[in-house]
Amino acid sequence: MFDQGIIDMLKTGLFESLYMILASTCVGYLLGLPMGIVLTITDKDGIKPNGVIYKILDVFANIVRSVPFLILVVLLIPFTRLLLGKSYGPTATIVPLVIAATPFIGRMVESSLKEVDHGVIEAAQSMGASTWTIIRKVLLVEARTPLIVGATIAIGTILGYSAMAGAVGGGGLGDIAIRYGYYRYQTDIMIVTVVILVVLAQLFQGLGMFLSKRLDKRSTK
Amino acid sequence: MEPIIQIKNVSKTFESKSGQVKALQNISIDIEKGDIFGMIGMSGAGKSTLVRCINFLERPTDGTVIIDGKDLGNISNKELRKTRMEIAMIFQHFNLLMQRTVIDNVCFPLEIAGVKKKEAKDRARELLKIVGLENKENAYPVQLSGGQKQRVAIARAIANNPKILLCDEATSALDPETTNSILNLLKDINKRFGITIVVITHEMKVIQEICNKVAILNNGKLAETGYVKDIFTEPKTDEAKRLVYQGTSMTALMNGQRFIRIVFGEQSSFEPVIGNMILSFNTPINIMGADTRNIGGKAMGEMILQLPEDEVIAEKMITYLRNRKLVVEEVDLNV
């Protein structure tokens, strides 16, 4: 149906997309996980309440999350150029992706960690556990199921964002879908890219749900 | 010897949007080593806050808490965490780590204390044997019954050989039979390891069953404290009376007449006191209720009598009973 050139292009697009999604998810968690932890423990019912730190992160998360992603990409062009020397292509897209994903992931982590029963945290405190021990051995372990579910949702959202970045030269499958499907009216190519994106989303979702169920010891099944 | 727990003039005030809540007001209690000390009160009396002041999960607004000679308000955070390893705690809802197996739950405090993995596992197995769950080590908490969960929590609590064990409504979520088995386990632990136990409860039954001393809390204040035996025979405050009369629910029979409650110790059961009294006054009395309770392993009888309408005879009867060394007190069943 397609010639070799188009197939190669789709392959490259797929790898670029995977690269953007996985790299931004990783960096996003590197920043978002600590952010979520800090949001959890500095909240007024947390184990180290601190109104100022909580408020700063809270406001930051709300501001970033209320800017539409495409606008964020455009706004960040000077910053991206400063950081990487160019503002287009998959690597450059990772910058706005990370900035958009971090507060999203932070919130996701916060809500997961807040699901942990306060009594269990209190029990750990009564045993003389330090804040750090409680984070590592109680919060992150007891909340692992919602954390994995959250990660699945985060990857899905980042996948969507990465495709959107195609509109402004971001590379990957989204880029191909826009260029061929929208500008050149090659609907068949567009449909193929969309199918690949859907399959990708399904794969991530399935894997996440499988892991979260497998690792959950709270149900008797 | 110095008491192992000294609570001195402790107050705790919570700030809330609707103003200040005085959870505890000027409470002083001494608990001796080896005691099983009960703290009882209605919900909202402040007992949970008070027990959390003993390990500083709640910092008192005022006053001092001295554990084994150490003033908790005057030590660093690090030292406080170390002291907490000597003050274990169990809870109403067990608070086990749901994502860890039974044995890993018991290992948790040992991990915190920095015990090596292999040593911790050995110690945990030993503890599971003590609480009778050696065959459940690889189960997850969700697979256990309430009583079994509390046994795991107890094994976990005593893992680091604490000097003190705090029990916050530890049997309130359990059925009566399981409650008894948990109370027996606590008694056993108190005897075998000499661990001082503080029991928070709203049930007089629990206090009677295992405590030697009790403090009665009411609205954040200490109403009465002393040996369980003494408070059971002669409750002085209304709050104490209300708790002791729990279970003697004859309020509905009140009709303006006077009631008395008499308590029999061990020595008073040889003479048929009531029978002799009726014979000597030639006036019948109405027995409203009678009960035998187990107070710290001793049988104590109590009886509620309705006095005759004739005031003179009624007074004479009270004197008669008092002369026979019985504890007699007027009961207002409406307290």
- Domain ranges across chain B: 3-234, 247-331
Q: Which of B90, B99, B100, B153 is nearest to B127 (CA)?
A: B153
The kind and range of the H/E element at B147 are helix B146-157
Lowest mean pLDDT among A197-206, B40-49, B57-66, B150-159: B40-49
Question: What confidence score (pLDDT) does residue B267 get?
Answer: 60
What pLDDT band is residue B286 in, cutting at 50, 70 and 90? confident
Which tokens go with A99?
């900035």
Report d(CA A57, CA B255) in Å as an integer. Answer: 66
pLDDT at position B252 over 50: no
A217 with B111: Cβ contact below 8 A: no
A144 with B89: Cβ contact below 8 A: no
B85 with A127: Cβ contact below 8 A: yes
Question: What confidence score (pLDDT) does residue A124 get?
Answer: 97
Architecture label for domain A4-220: Orthogonal Bundle (1.10)
Q: Which of A121, A77, A94, A114 is nearest to A26 (CA)?
A: A94
The shortest CB-CB distance from A127 to any of B84, B140, B143 is to B84
Lowest mean pLDDT among A53-67, B135-149, B283-297, B313-327: B283-297
Question: What confidence score (pLDDT) does residue B314 get?
Answer: 85
pLDDT at position B316 over 90: no
- Domain ranges across chain A: 4-220
User: What's the CATH number of domain B3-234, 3.40.50.300, 3.30.1330.10, 4.10.520.10, 3.40.190.10?
Assistant: 3.40.50.300
pLDDT at position B335 over 50: no
**Between B296 and A27, residue with greater pLDDT:** A27
Q: Which residues of chain A have pLDDT under 70?
A: 1, 220-221
Report d(CA A91, CA A94) in Å as an integer. Answer: 5
What pLDDT band is residue B310 in, cutting at 50, 70 and 90? confident
**Do the beta carbons of residue B258 and residue B320 sit within 8 Å?**
no
Question: What confidence score (pLDDT) does residue B98 get?
Answer: 95
Please name the amino acid found at residue A86.
K
In chain A, alpha helices (H): 4-42, 51-66, 69-75, 77-84, 90-113, 118-126, 131-133, 140-142, 144-164, 172-176, 187-214
Instruction: Describe the crossing of helices A51-66 and A4-42 by its angle, rounded to 10 degrees.
Output: 150
Question: What confidence score (pLDDT) does residue B266 get?
Answer: 65
User: What's the CATH number of domain B247-331, 3.60.70.12, 3.30.70.260, 3.10.590.10, 3.40.50.300?
Assistant: 3.30.70.260
pTM: 0.84
Which tokens go with B189?
């632990």
DSSP state of B269: G
CA distance B130 to chain A (A): 20
A128 with B112: Cβ contact below 8 A: yes
Which tokens go with A190?
């567009």
Average pLDDT of span B199-221: 92
Contact partners, residue B6, CB within 8 Å, separation at least 6: B30, B31, B64, B65, B66, B67
Pairing relationship of beta strands B298-306 and B286-295 according to DSSP bridges: antiparallel
The shortest CB-CB distance from B109 to any of A117, A127, A220 is to A127
Report d(CA B97, CA B91) in Å as an integer. Answer: 13
DSSP state of B222: E
CA distance B48 to chain A (A): 13
Q: Indicate the SS3 state at residue A123.
A: helix
Report d(CA A42, CA A53) in Å as an integer. Answer: 7
What pLDDT band is residue B334 in, cutting at 50, 70 and 90? low
Average pLDDT of span B35-47: 90
DSSP state of B308: P
A120 with B87: Cβ contact below 8 A: no
Please spell the DSSP secondary structure of B117-130, one letter per residue: HHHHHHHHHHHHHH
What mean pLDDT is reported for chain B? 89
Report d(CA B134, CA B118) in Å as an integer. Answer: 17
How many other CB atoms are there within 10 angstroms of residue A94's CB atom?
Answer: 27
The predicted complex's ipTM stands at 0.86
How many other CB atoms are there within 10 angstroms of residue B126's CB atom?
Answer: 13
Lowest mean pLDDT among A114-128, B145-159, B182-196, B274-288: B274-288
Question: What confidence score (pLDDT) does residue A36 get?
Answer: 97
Query: Chain A residues within 8 A (CB-CB) of chain B?
Result: 117, 119-120, 122-130, 133, 137-138, 141-142, 144, 215-220
CA distance A158 to chain B (A): 29
What percent of chain B has a predicted confidence (pLDDT) above 90?
Answer: 61
Report d(CA B239, CA B253) in Å as an integer. Answer: 21
Report the C-alpha dihedral over residues B176, B179, B180, B181, rounded to 10 degrees.
Answer: 130
Residue of B nearest to A219 (CA): B142
Question: What confidence score (pLDDT) does residue A220 get?
Answer: 61
Report d(CA A162, CA A14) in Å as an integer. Answer: 11
Residue length, chain A?
221
